[in-house]
Chains A and B, each alone.
Chain A
Amino acid sequence: MLLSLHEVITAPSGRREPRIGPVSLCVDTGEAVALTGPNGAGKSTLLAAITGRTPILAGSIHLAAGTRLQLVEQSGRPDNDLPVSGRDFLDLADADAAPPAPVSDWLDQRLDTLSGGQRQLLRIWAGLTAPADLVLLDEPSNNLDDTSRAILQRLLRDRPVGRSLLLVSHDPELLTNDCHRLVAMPEHGNG
């Protein structure tokens, strides 16, 4: 088992309340597991706990020895007026520099000239193809139109063989078509 969470309770960084969980789940090699739940259930906080950036208050998180993680968050800092191209970004992430179309069309453009959806797909490609065993994707389909969501689904399916996914999403189509299992967060907390 690559990742297993047993009765994990956590809270937003540096606080003890509101409590999030308890959550138990496991992700095996090559598996895509969806984490779902209402807004404020603490899904993003749970991802932060898995990466060790937020302490857990109870329970246990076990990562198989040597497991490399990649986290693709909902959005980064604004990159306005930043001379960084798509190619620079993939190089920085050590990601596959030959993405499929249309992502390949954006490589020589600056990030601040791409639309929000294009930047999001580029970040997802970087996360999916950077050296990692488990990729944590936080709301990857947020703010994407139908065309971009179709591209996202293709990128997820074409990810490197054996790469596992833990995917936070509300998107029923994504959850049904692209995930092996679904884990629902308890309906309380705030994260």
Chain B
Amino acid sequence: MAELFALPFATGLTLAILLPLVGVWLRLRDEWLAALAVGHLAGAGAILALSFSLPGLLGAGALAVAGMLGRHLPGTGNSAYAWLILAGWAITLLIAANSTLGETLARQLIEGQLYFTGPIELGVAIALLGFTLVLRTRINRNELASRLLPATTRAEGKQRQRLSVLADALIAIVLAAGTLSIGLMATFALVFLPAWATFGHAGNWRRASIGAVVFGLLSYLLAFAVALALDQPFAPTLVVTLLVVTTIARLVPPTGD
């Protein structure tokens, strides 16, 4: 029994560290809605790829990266992400309804399928965590500088944009991997809620990043245990756990460090 859940548990655990790290970048950008938009596109991309007998992650990653890079077009922002959510949702369900895969696969992507993940999903998650940790310091500085310090020269602005595009691609692939492993809403919850909880109270950037990961990890461990013990679907259990834990954290008045 324990062996059956070992790989899915490890995959989810890796994502519970990875997705909150991505979440603090998206919240810093004020673009947390991107997580939901890119997740929808990843779902559509996966269904599209599978309907052509291609690997789901390939299609999910490609469409997710394309959607994320769209933020560099003029006039984009949360309105564009809302547009992408609707497009991704409609495309996913239409392709599912008109392919041999049927609605089952689309539902799995939306509801999550952690228990069916295997070594490939775990390998992808660990590789992405490795990339994220290696690039984290550079991306942190770049994202913070873009928000707080205007680029002094045009050359500096271009350099920042190059690193920002790299961050976009990484974020998009992480979101795609999350959507395919734990589902759309669980991915969104792990991106949005831990960052939301810690941004209110953390005294500095480092504490906020660590706090988000701690919230993600603790909620994941609790949700995994509850879902197994009570025989509940994992994704909604995780979302409820995150909602409760992070809302309590957000409501507690800051101590002033």
A52 touches B199 (CB 8 A): no
Residue contact A81 to B199, C-beta cutoff 8 Å:
yes
Interface residues of B in 207-247 (CB under 8 A from A): 207-208
Contact B149 A93 (CB under 8 A): yes
**Contact in complex: A92, B141 (CB < 8 Å):** yes
Do B153 and A51 touch across chains, with their CB atoms under 8 A apart? yes
A51 with B152: CB separation less than 8 A:
yes
In contact, A83 and B204 (Cβ under 8 angstroms): yes
Digitize A109-149: 1 where CB-to-B-CB distance is under 8 Å, 0 elsewhere.
Answer: 01100000000000000100000000000000000000000
Question: Is A4 an interface residue when CB atoms closer than 8 A count as contact?
Answer: no
Structural contact, A88 and B149, CB atoms closer than 8 A: no
Q: Residue on B with the closest CB to A77?
A: B147
* Category for how many chain B residues contact A: 20 to 34
* Residues of chain B contacted by A73 (CB below 8 angstroms): 150
Looking across the interface, which residue of chain B has its beta carbon closest to that of A52? B154
Chain A residues with Cβ below 8 Å from B208 are: 83
B203 close to chain A: CB less than 8 A: yes
B145 touches A69 (CB 8 A): no
Question: A70: CB under 8 A from chain B?
Answer: yes
Q: Check if B148 is an interface residue, CB within 8 A of chain A.
A: yes
- Kindly supply a per-residue 1/0 record for chain A positions 71-97, scoring 1 wherever the CB is within 8 Å of any chain B CB and 0 otherwise: 101001101011111011100110000
B205 interface residue per 8 A CB criterion:
yes
Interface size classification for chain A: 20 to 34
Contact with A along B163-206 (1 / 0, CB 8 A): 00000000000000000000000000000000000111111111
Interface presence of B82 (CB below 8 A)? no
B152, A70: Cβ atoms under 8 Å? Answer: yes
A76 to B144, CA, bound (A): 12
- A83–B203 touching, CB < 8 Å: yes
Q: Closest approach, in angstroms, between the C-beta of B252 and any C-beta of chain A? A: 15
Interface check A6, CB cutoff 8 A: no
Whether, in the assembled complex, B135 has its beta carbon less than 8 Å from a beta carbon of chain A, the answer is no
B29 to chain A, nearest CB (A): 11
Nearest residue in A to B257 (C-beta to C-beta)?
A108
Q: Determine whether A15 belongs to the interface, using a CB cutoff of 8 Å to chain B.
A: no
15 A-B pairs (CB sep. < 8 Å): A52-B155, A69-B153, A76-B149, A76-B150, A77-B148, A79-B147, A81-B199, A81-B200, A85-B205, A88-B205, A88-B206, A92-B144, A92-B149, A108-B203, A110-B203
Beyond known contacts A76-B149, A77-B147, A85-B205: 18 more, CB 8 A cutoff? A51-B154, A53-B153, A69-B152, A79-B147, A81-B199, A82-B28, A82-B199, A83-B201, A83-B205, A84-B205, A88-B206, A89-B148, A92-B145, A92-B149, A108-B204, A108-B257, A110-B203, A111-B148
